[in-house]
Amino acid sequence: MDTTAHHRYGDELYRALIERRTVEPLRLREPDITLDDAYRIQLRMVERRLAAGETIVGKKIGVTSKPVQDLLGVFQPDFGILTSGMVRREEEAIDLGDLIQPKAEAELAFVLKHDLNGPGITPMDVIRATDYVTPCFEIVDSRITSWNIRIQDTVADNASCGVYVLGKAKADPRRVDLTLAGMLLEKNGELVSTSAGTAVQRAPATAVAWLANTLGALGIPFRAGEVILSGSQSVLVGVADGDRLACTIGGLGSCRISFTGRSAA
């Protein structure tokens, strides 16, 4: 694929985002699409968001846990860019009308106090550079019809970024064993799943170090103040009007969200 094709597909995905509709899988229309092509398409899509006035507020690693990999048929991590338009607050219901075909996942967010410039970043470097960690929800939202994705589709679609919510709890990662800390995910008061930090590439800080090194090799640093979503520790959960979700991580606290309205799909 050439630059013209990268821009065409990036623009198409951006329009789908704005118009709240889906497009056919890219891999079916471009059988030879590579991961490099997909990331160049992602870059174009993000550029369109920035040109519209959004700013970069962090990064995310996706497709890290086996349940999510099994569900989506994707068997390697990916990454995406978080922008200001994705930020939602815990005390405000998430308007499903802003989304297309949303699914929620619970994870751990790292908020940085120092820059991280890979390659060569270790999990301990991540811990040292972190201001605090907090439970969070990411509401992923594919612009690909019926979530019919493989790695190239979701990467091009900015790792299926939708919106995210940080919990109010702020924990020092040097005082909590993030690997063994257990997570409970509840939907409308019913237990949905349990997990621990080992679900994410053996440890959340390991996942963040991987992302710092992967992006560093591309000349993209982590900046102080950025939010880094370390990857889902839960199954993907469908959501509808009136649903309430809560995730609780032992030693850290909870994040609670609710939903209103109806999604586009």
**CATH number of the domain within which 190 lies:** 3.90.850.10
Domain residues for 107? 55-260
Spacing of C-alpha 258 from chain mean position: 18
Measure the CA–CA gap between 20 and 182, rounded to whole angstroms.
Answer: 35
Report yes or no on 234 lying in a domain: yes
Measure the CA–CA gap between 60 and 243, rounded to whole angstroms.
Answer: 25
Report yes or no on 134 lying in a domain: yes
Closest CA to 182 of 167, 199, 162: 199
Residue indicated by tokens 């030879």: 32
Burial of 119 by CB count in 10 Å (0-12 exposed, 13-18 middle, 19+ buried)?
exposed
Residue indicated by tokens 């995730």: 247
Which residues are CB-contacts of 219 (< 8 A; sequence separation ≥ 6)?
A: none
Q: What is the pLDDT of residue 110?
A: 98
Q: What is the pLDDT of residue 235?
A: 85
Length of the chain measured in residues: 265
Q: What is the pLDDT of residue 67?
A: 61
Which residues are CB-contacts of 159 (< 8 A; sequence separation ≥ 6)?
A: 42, 60, 62, 63, 78, 79, 80
Report yes or no on 14 lying in a domain: no
Question: Nearest 10 degrees: CA dihedral of 231, 234, 239, 243?
Answer: -120
Q: What is the pLDDT of residue 73?
A: 64
- Domain count for the chain, please give it: 1
| Predicted model pTM | 0.94
Q: What is the pLDDT of residue 178?
A: 87
Report yes or no on 105 lying in a domain: yes
Report yes or no on 28 lying in a domain: no
Across the chain, where does the E strand assignment appear?
Answer: 56-62, 78-83, 87-88, 94-95, 102-112, 130-141, 163-166, 182-187, 190-196, 227-232, 237-238, 244-249, 253-260
Report yes or no on 239 lying in a domain: yes
Report yes or no on 20 lying in a domain: no
Q: What is the pLDDT of residue 265?
A: 80
One digit per residue, the tens of pLDDT, for the chain of length 265 reads 999 999 999 999 999 999 999 999 999 999 999 989 999 999 999 999 999 999 999 999 987 766 666 766 666 688 999 999 999 999 999 999 999 999 999 999 999 999 999 999 999 999 999 999 999 999 999 999 999 998 899 999 999 999 999 999 999 999 988 888 889 999 999 999 998 777 666 789 999 999 999 999 989 999 999 999 998 888 889 999 999 999 999 989 999 999 999 998 8
Quickly list H helices, the chain: 3-19, 26-29, 35-51, 66-72, 123-129, 151-156, 204-216
Q: What is the pLDDT of residue 144?
A: 97
Q: What is the pLDDT of residue 71?
A: 62
The single-letter code of the amino acid at 204 is P
Report yes or no on 116 lying in a domain: yes
Half-sphere exposure of 262 (CA within 13 A, CB side): 2
